[in-house]
Amino acid sequence: MKTLRKQDTRIPRRPLLWLAAALLFTLPPMFGTLPSWVPLLFLIALAAKFWMEPKGYRLRSLIWKLVLVALILSLLFFSYGSVRGMEPGVSLIVLLTSVKILEAHTAREFHIMIMVAWILCLCGFFLSQNLAIALCLLIAFTLLLAALIQFHRGLSSAFWPPVRTVGKLLAQAAPLIILLFLFFPRVNTGLRFQIAPQRGASAGFSDRLSPGSVSFLANSSEAAFRVEFPDGKIPPLSAMYWRGVVMWHGEGLEWEAPAGPAALPLTSQGPPRGEAIRQWITIEPHDARWMFALDWPVNSPSGATLAPGNYLWSNQPIRKPRRYEVISYPETPNNRLHSREREPLLQVPASISPRARALAQSWKGETAEPREVVKKALEFFHTQGFQYSFSPGEYGKNDLDEFLFHRRLGFCEHYAASFATLMRLAGIPARVVTGYLGGEYNEIGHFFLVRQADAHAWCEVWFPDSGWERVDPTAVVAPDRVNLGLNFFLERRAATGQLDKQLARWPIFGRARLGWQTLSYAWDTRVLSFDGDEQASFFASVGIAGHGPIFFIVGSLAFATALLALYAGWTHLRTRPCGNRVKIVYETFCRKAARLGAPRNPSEGPLDFSLRATRLLPNESERIRRIANTYIALRYAPAPDPIMLEQFAKEVNAFVRAS
Amino acid sequence: MRQAASSKNRFPLSPTTSFAGLLFVLVAIWYAASSQNNAASYLLLFALASVFLVSIPWTFSNLGGLQATVESVKPAFAGQEISLPVEVTNGSRATRYGIALALPDLGDAHERIDEIPAGKAARTVLRFPAAIRGEHEIGSLQLTSAYPLGFLRVLKQLPSPQRYVVYPKPAGEQRLPAETARSGQSSSRREFGEGDDFAGVRAYVRGESQRHIDWKAVARGQALMTKQFTAESDGLLYLDFAAVRPDDLEARLSQLALWVIEAERARRPYGLRLPVVEIPPSLGEPHLHRCLRALALFK
């Protein structure tokens, strides 16, 4: 008897299918961030479950389970060297879930699997938060709800009904989600658990400029940041130099930025000149601290400082999309350069060859005017057969001569680094700036998308009369790179592009791509960057700032309860039994009749009452008779016909109005 | 009955075991989201919490308009199973899903109904062991539903006036009395099969005369039955409470129940003589049940 009962707690097949589908959708964030054998093992476990389930096999033996867990732990240890930190932790959860899949059997375990799947969704968000991943996890979330609903529906329905129910649930939950998202206090719990740095070398920028470091990025179509110009003042594409890091220390072709720059003293800033350009920048997380702004930023957003060299430096590593406002001016003249500051700006490594030194000296010998020297140097790059290429081959860090006098093939970083070194040799203070150049305009979302591929390096030299000025030797060698952007440059050179670039030539795909970018931008700016600070400014903007978190917790709970109570009342009314409604409507009729002088005796049946009422109210006799007949038909029908009921209600409504 | 009344006042919603799991997951997500300041995880937290909150009224109203009626219960012998046919009617305007029926007063009998469309009814049969001889109350029927998400359960107790009878378990070692006791008043012998007095029906056996087939029953769509008649005869089998040897009451009743069945099977007209009740000899299904019922209710 007991064992028989146990049998019907087995997981029915259909909810299991929903659960499996949901688990599949939690996988995408794991590919590419975890070692690929982790999600693969998970997939294998899922497939094995479907093979085992009809045969009644499952993982029963405790010894086997222990062996599997031990195996998993050792595999993880082997591949990470430790089981602490974020990625090993997530891998561990994924792998233990695989074992659980093999073991799960009863209805209770089904519910545990659902809980675990929610934790997997959470893990997914820890690995990546971009829009595509978020959509995947939303689908997983929906499928999990469908699995639960199907579980409680048993064998009763086909594919769509549970999905429709989930849709209704989500639609009703949506306003609540938005309210909670806006108002639920984002308290910083101080429970910060330490996470090992996510990715050692994420595709992006570096604080060193070495041959190949920028051209390495040229193939990456990942977004670096997105920019809106809220005032509508948009500089031309050729002037869109996004200032990243200033590198002061040069070693020939290799340049380096200070590891932790101090804040720029206010006194050393000259008054800005030209038109102010306001930007809203949403930066993708890169685990480092550089931030970008149009040349030259004059203010620092909160949580960042303006470092010497006028570039932005975040106080914290940027681990999630961050949105900031910054104002830039095309020029900030600063013509004071202390001799003690000037000294390091002329330093060159001793390993520079006499030939390079001679080249620089030759320009200096011809003219004492720094601008003339710069002009001559640019002329040198322009006329001596230098070529722009994003695969210039290997250069060592001391191969300045090789580049300048032999191969003459390079990417922007080669030109910037060699130019700055040459300027220093010629006695002109110079430095290298890395950042991005240009961007792609999105006409749907009205923003510029700057990709990793737009990475660029250029030079700045110091003139005694006007201070630091930008000089971009790349513009001399490959003007199209500066004027049209890297993509145009590359496309003109090689007709074969990536698939998505080819597709983008079709208008429909182009629109879809722009639409996706816009959505993705909205996700980053409206959702992901909404943190405690944003919430505080939101509260300030709606005028409820200054309350403690308790206020909001209690407030949001009270609000949610009120909403729920309203909704519950409405549901109750809506699904109230028809039979009751018939009676309620009839009672309304009786009250109305009583007001007109024909009260119904408690012992009187509807038919007797209607006969008496028609006599008492002869004007209404026709309607009274109709109401009585409909009432009897409805009251004694096994299931009242809703259309007839509506008719009945209408009739009773009309009864008072007519008299 | 008293229990049913008290549980009526109880708040109908109660958390299930997976509610604890949900709470754990919510706290875990909140902890992770707040410590990492991860907006996407916050969104997951709010989505899960909101869907749960929104599902509360769904669960709460999921039993609205449901009525359960217990149909007539067939008696069973002690030790067997009682089958309780229940009809659940959905008087509301929404389809109801995932309803569990249980008998809180009668052990852990439970049954599930997956779906009842609006205005329709669904039937199911609850089975539970018939433990003790006698007439028993069903007490109350309990409807529960955890639809749609299973974190909360709504409960509705419906008192049911229906009663059911459990016959004594047929058992015993004594043989059916071979001698037929002579009735004092009547010296005539009852001849079974042919006669004037209608005694009941039994299944038709092929080859029998078709004269006594209960054609009316056939017209009602039932199987072929033969009407049985008894004629006056000398031999009357009285199954006497006093004639049963063991002193234990239950054992005696069990023995009598066994005899009743054996006599019926042997088609020997039998009567039952208990200290208070006496049932005159007869044969047939109604008679059998009359006797067994008398044994069941014997105090």
Q: pLDDT, tens digit, for every residue of A597-655? A: 888 877 788 888 888 888 888 888 888 888 888 888 887 777 777 788 888 888 888 88
Residue B175 per-residue DSSP state? P
Asked whether residue A158 falls in the same domain as residue A32, the answer is: yes
Give pLDDT, residue A134: 93
Say how far apart CA A620 and CA A597 lie, in whole Å.
12
Residue range A384-393: average pLDDT? 77
If 0-12 CB within 10 Å is exposed, 13-18 middle and 19+ buried, where does residue A7 land? Answer: exposed
| Euclidean distance between CA atoms A313 and A305, whole angstroms | 5
CB burial string A327-341: b at 16+ within 10 A, e below: bbbbbbebeebeeee
CA dist., res. A634 & res. A637, Å (int): 5
Cα–Cα distances (Å) from A81 to A41, A76, A245, in that order, read: 19, 7, 34
For A465, the domain range is 347-432+457-500
Look at residue A442 and tell me if it is in a domain.
no
A177 and B64 within 8 Å at the Cβ level: the answer is no
A chain contacts of residue B64, beta-carbon cutoff 8 Å: 572, 575-577
Q: A642: which 2 tokens?
A: 């809703």
Q: Which residues of A touch B60 (CB under 8 A)?
A: 568, 571-572
According to DSSP, the residues that pair with B189 across neighbouring strands are: B233
At A114, is the pLDDT very low, low, confident or very high (cuts 50, 70, 90)?
Answer: very high
- To probe the interface with B, which of A8, A170, A177 has the most B CB atoms within 10 Å? A177
A-chain residue closest to B128, CA distance? A1
- Are A145 and A165 part of one and the same domain? yes
The pLDDT score that the predictor gives to residue A7 is 40
CB A550 within 8 A of CB A612: no
Do A598 and A644 belong to one domain? yes
Residue ranges in chain B modelled with pLDDT below 70: 1-10, 178-200, 205-209, 228-235
- Separation in Å, CA of A398 to nearest CA in chain B: 43
Q: Among all residues of chain B, which has the CA nearest to that of A533?
A: B37
- Whether A353 and A464 share a structural domain: yes
Same-domain check for residues A354 and A395: yes
- The reply to whether A537 and A470 lie within a common domain is no
Min Cα separation B263/chain A (Å):
32
Is A639–B149 a contact, with Cβ atoms under 8 angstroms apart?
A: no
Note whether A567 and A586 are same-domain residues.
no
Closest C-alpha among B51, B26, B52 to residue A122: B26
**In a domain? residue A623:** yes
By Cβ distance, the residue of B25, B35, B98 closest to A115 is B25
Residue corresponding to tokens 């998202």? A181
| Chain A environment of B48 (Cβ under 8 Å) | 118, 141
- Contact (Cβ atoms closer than 8 angstroms) between residue B146 and residue B152: yes
Whole-number Å distance between alpha carbons of A527 and A134: 11
CA distance B52 to B177: 69
> Residue A195: its pLDDT value, please?
47
A486 and A363 belong to one structural domain: yes
Interface check for A194 against chain B (CB to CB < 8 A): the answer is: no
Place of tokens 């109005």: A657
Considering the domain architecture, whether residues A104 and A137 belong to the same structural domain is answered as yes
- Two tokens at A184? 């639920």
Interface residue B11 vs chain A (CB under 8 A): no
- ipTM higher than the 0.85 cut: no
Measured between CB atoms, which of B39, B49, B146 is closest to A527? B39
What is the model's pTM? 0.68
- How many domains, chain A? 4
Question: Is the CB of residue A482 less than 8 Å from the CB of residue A470?
Answer: no
Beta bridge partners of A431: A460
- Which residues of chain B have a CB within 8 Å of the CB of A560? 53
Please name the helix (run of DSSP H) or strand (run of DSSP E) that holds residue B198, with its range, or none: strand B197-203
Count CA atoms closer than 13 A to B116's CA, side-chain side: 28
- pLDDT for the residue numbered A118: 94
- Amino acid identity of residue B73, one-letter, is V
Condensed to tens digits (0 to 9), the pLDDT of residues B122-141 reads: 899 988 888 888 888 888 88
Q: Return the closest-CA partner of residue A410 out of A382, A383, A390, A428.
A: A390
Digit-coded pLDDT (tens) for A16-26: 888 999 999 99
Query: In the predicted model, is pLDDT for residue A198 greater than 60?
Result: no
Distant-in-sequence contacts of A237-240, Cβ < 8 A, 24+ apart: A237/A438, A237/A439, A237/A483, A237/A484, A237/A485, A238/A438, A238/A475, A238/A482, A238/A483, A239/A295, A239/A330, A240/A294, A240/A437, A240/A438, A240/A439, A240/A448
pLDDT of residue B235: 60
- For residue A504, the model assigns a pLDDT of 58
Tokens representing A41? 């093992």
Confidence of residue A588 (pLDDT cuts 50, 70, 90): confident
pLDDT for res A577: 56
* DSSP 8-state assignment for residue A505: T
Query: A657 has which bridge partners?
Result: none
Q: What is the CA radius of gyration of chain B?
A: 29
Question: Topology of B1-167 in CATH?
Answer: Immunoglobulin-like (2.60.40)
Q: With contacts defined as CB-CB under 8 Å, which chain B residues touch A181?
A: 42-43, 46
Q: Which residues 227-266 in chain B show a CB within 8 A of chain A?
A: none
Give chain A's length. 659
The verdict on A9 touching B (C-beta cutoff 8 Å) is: no
Do A546 and A611 lie in one domain? The reply is no
Tokens of B47: 């989505």
Chains A, B: CB pairs < 8 Å: 181
**Is residue A641 assigned to a domain?**
yes
The burial of A622, by beta-carbon neighbours within 10 Å (0-12 exposed, 13-18 middle, 19 or more buried), is given as exposed
Residues A52 and A159 in one domain: yes
Beta-carbon separation of B148 and A169 below 8 A: yes
Q: How far apart are CA B238 and CA A277, in angstroms?
A: 115
Question: Torsions phi, psi of A61, nearest 5?
Answer: -75, 130
SS3 B70: strand
Q: What is the pLDDT of residues A410-422, one digit of tens each?
A: 888 888 888 888 8
Q: Is B147 on the interface with A (CB under 8 A)?
A: yes
CA distance A224 to A247: 20
In a domain, A252, yes or no: no
| CB spacing of B46 vs A188 below 8 angstroms | no
State mean pLDDT over A112-140. Answer: 91
pLDDT of residue A3: 34
* Domain assignment present for A545: yes
| Residue A56 covered by a domain | yes
Rounded CA separation A490/A217 (Å): 14
Residues A533 and A531: their CA atoms lie apart, in Å, by 6
CATH number at residue A473: 3.10.620.30
- State mean pLDDT over A549-561: 76
**What is the CB neighbour count within 10 angstroms for residue A103?**
17
Question: Chain B neighbours among A 592-631 (CB < 8 Å)?
Answer: none
How close A656 gets to chain B, by Cα (Å)?
A: 28
Q: How far apart are CA B237 and CA A659, in angstroms?
A: 80
Q: What's the gap in Å between the CA of B293 and the closest CA on chain A?
A: 27
Residue B37, phi-psi category: left (phi > 0), alpha (psi -120 to 50), beta (remainder): left
Over residues B209-245, the pLDDT tens digits come to 677 777 777 777 777 777 766 544 446 788 888 888 7
Range A285-291 average pLDDT: 82
Q: How far is C-alpha A197 from the chain's CA centre?
A: 19
Closest residue to A122, CB basis, from B41, B46, B57: B41
Does B94 sit within 8 Å of A575, measured CB to CB? yes
At position B193, the amino acid (one-letter code) is G
Min CA distance, B48 vs chain A (Å)? 9
For chain B, the residue count is: 299
**Using an 8 Å Cβ cutoff, are A634 and A644 in contact?**
yes
Contact indicator for A15, A150 with CB cutoff of 8 Å:
yes
CA-based nearest residue in chain A for residue B43: A181
Contacts of A572 in chain B (CB under 8 A): 57, 60-61, 64
Among A122, A133, A151, A284, most B C-beta atoms within 10 A, so best to mutate, is: A122
Contact: B38, A125; criterion CB under 8 Å: yes
- Does residue B97 contact residue B147 with C-beta atoms inside 8 Å? yes
Judge whether B21 is closer than 8 Å to chain A, CB to CB: yes
Which of A173, A191, A575 lies closest to B51 in CB terms?
A173
Of A263, A404, A243, A392, the C-alpha closest to A329 is A243
Closest partner residue to A578 (CB to CB) among B43, B91, B120 is B91
**3-state SS record for A105-128:** CEHHHHHHHHHHHHHHHHHHHHHC
Chain B residues with CB under 8 Å of A125 CB are 38, 40-41, 44
- Residue A639: inside a domain, yes or no? yes
SS3 content of chain B, % helix, strand, coil (to 5): 30, 35, 35
Pairwise CB contact (< 8 Å): B58 & A571? yes
- A566: contact with B, CB 8 A cutoff: no
Within 10 angstroms of residue B5's Cβ, the number of other Cβ atoms is: 11
Shortest alpha-carbon distance between residue B16 and chain A (Å): 11
Average pLDDT score over residue span A45-56: 84
Q: What is the mean pLDDT of residues A437-450?
A: 84
For residue A377, report the phi and psi dihedrals to the nearest 5 degrees.
-65, -45
Whether A71 has its CB under 8 Å from any CB of chain B: the answer is no
Amino acid identity of B270?
Y
Spell out the domain ranges in chain B.
1-167, 181-297
Q: Residue A169 and residue B55: Cβ atoms within 8 Å?
A: yes
At A122, the pLDDT band (50, 70, 90 cuts) reads: very high
Q: Is residue A462 part of a domain?
A: yes
B65–chain A nearest CA distance, Å:
5
Contact A579 B114 (CB under 8 A): no
C-alpha R_g of chain A: 36
Q: Is B22 within 8 Å of chain A by CB?
A: yes
For residue B209, the model assigns a pLDDT of: 67
Count other C-beta atoms under 10 Å from residue A39's C-beta. Answer: 22
A1-5, A8-12, A113-117, B281-285: range with lowest mean pLDDT: A1-5
Q: Are B19 and B151 in contact (CB under 8 A)?
A: yes
Task: In whole angstroms, give the CA distance from residue A176 to residue A181.
Answer: 8
Is B38 near chain A, with CB under 8 Å? Answer: yes
Residue A466 has pLDDT above 90, yes or no: no
User: Does B217 contact chain A (CB < 8 Å)?
Assistant: no
CA distance A14 to B298: 52
Distance CA B218, CA B229 (A): 18
A414/A396 Cα distance (integer angstroms): 11
**Are the beta carbons of B88 and B143 closer than 8 angstroms?**
yes
- CA pair distance B61, B154, nearest whole angstrom: 8
A125 with B40: Cβ contact below 8 A: yes
Shared domain for A76 and A124, answered yes or no, is yes
More confident residue, A85 or A236: A236
Provide the angle, in degrees to the nearest 10, between the axes of the packed helices A107-127 and A131-153: 170
Using CB atoms, which residue from B28, B44, B97 is nearest to A152? B97
**What is the model's pLDDT at position B50?**
92
Instruction: Confirm if A237 and A448 have CB atoms less than 8 A apart.
Output: no
How far apart (Å, rounded) are the C-alpha atoms in residues A392 and A477? 14
